[in-house]
A and B are shown apart, each in its own frame.
Chain A
Amino acid sequence: MALLLTVNAFAKEKQHGEEAGEKDLKTEIKEYIAHHLLDSYDFSLYSYTNDAGEHKYVGFPLPVILWDGGLKVFSSSKFHHGETVAEVGGNHYALYHNKIYKTDANGTINYDADHHPTNEKPLDFSFTKNVFFILLVSIIMFLIFSRMAKNYKNSAMPTGFGRLLEPIILYIRDDIARPNIGEKHYRRFMGYLLTVFFFVWIVNLFGLTPLGVNVTNNIAVTLALALITYFITTFSGNKNYWGHIFWMPGVPTPMKIILAPIELLGTIIKPFSLMIRLYANITAGHIVLMSIIGLMFIFKNWIGSPLSFALAFALSLLELLVAALQAYIFTMLSALYFGAAVEEGHH
């Protein structure tokens, strides 16, 4: 099923690539990749140029929510994919590099010396494509797992899809939570660990489909996940945990003073590494995959396309593995940090 979708993706990319015309193809591909990786204010699956030369988008708009001296809610269709200025309640907003700026009626954007826009940026709570997708995945997860839970009321054995999911749940419990956190405390963290594993995995898998949604390559998403891990670790830290951070036992006093700030910094670096690892792995995978697909349009000869196809195919398989692996690593390391936080002193 995933393979089929990947092949579909190629077809769509191709369609898009062909209409790029004879302009600077390399720049075009680069921009397309960069654009693909970004969040967007509407849910567009793909775009094409019709015979009349109009740029058409297939998809639907999503609500834009701004806080700019009051709540402003309007449909992202007002931007016409960044081509026009949206006028809401006397204020004008324009899209520039996928960010909303407050402009005048003409959509003028002023730049500073480094070519950064100087226009005011309203506080943006827009229900973007990624938010939409996060919500969608959450709803799907809730439906699947609450149904699975209901099944257990009738029979002790899982039924249907639960038969596939139960071993994964048991794996997380028996091979991630129990050995890393310990028999006594692991139950408290199971809810978060299971949710984060399935969420990251499902979202990563959807990122590989041609739907064009890449949730985990947004630093905001990985920051949110890492921050939750950080707060759970910090708030469940016991005396032993804090003792090891501020007054490391078993080392000479001057060393203790040196170690304290390092250890304290370590508590922040750990979730920070979680955030960067997930973000970088998924982003890198997408960039490489799309670049290889892009090669097809640059070579334009009989070697290029099959080669690019074979490479992209192999890489897609690898990405399938990476999708699960990153979810596993995130869950595993979170469990490790929780384990350190609740570990009982044994001195």
Chain B
Amino acid sequence: MNAKILEIENLTVSFDGFKALNNLNFSLETGELRVIIGPNGAGKTTFLDIITGKTKPTEGQVRFKGRNLRNYSEHEIARMGVGRKFQTPRVYLNLTPRENLELACNRYKTVFASLLKRTPSAEKRTVSGLLETIGLSHKADMKANLLSHGEKQWLEIGMLVAQSPDLLLVDEPVAGLTDEETELTGELLTSLAESHSIIVIEHDMEFVRQIARGQVTVLHQGSVLCEGTFDQVQSDPRVIEVYLGQEIHHDQPVSLEDAPQLLEIVEGADPETPGTLQGDFAEA
């Protein structure tokens, strides 16, 4: 059970000389829920692009279940069991939620199977069950462009589950959601974590606190800055420095003793202070 589902070694990705990811090492245990945080431009989205095959590594390698992903294209990696939820919900707006889920749920994804095979009733049941889980049963047969933002987020998570991947990559699942929706999403992810390996990328610290059971990884300038539990990471001076930027660093050198005090700033307790963490997040 403790085999590594994802291993990334010395990964570098450069776009015209700019290193979006720089000698990054990362690994994920099967069944783990990992949260990745990091300031803007830390390379979080590139990180997901690499795993899903959208971008190819310049150097280094990514191994999923022991297989090097370099020579596989997006759809092949998806079929291997990597599912991805995008930052802005990307559902098919001209299809209904039911049809969206059926597309993702379908096991036979070749041209002729899509043309000739009928949807098995087991799949239809899965889809009905999922519609209930994500609370869209009563809107199952209207076009998805009529759904609210939160409903679209949930629909996309539903599509991700329908695909029954082994590894779920979730990019900012609660962006633009209400507090209540955020909490429900957290519960949903936590329950999914019982049977899947999950990587969540998130900005919302409250949400990270809610879902982070184990390790949290901090990315900075394309590399892993540190890893640890939420509390460890939160009190790590390097993390604080990265998030707060240079100004405060110059004014008051960070030491571990200052950590609790700084943490208040980090959590946005004092919104008046310029350059607080909250300000940084709001820009995201």
The answer to whether A and B interact is no
The residues of B with any CB-CB pair to A shorter than 8 Å are: none
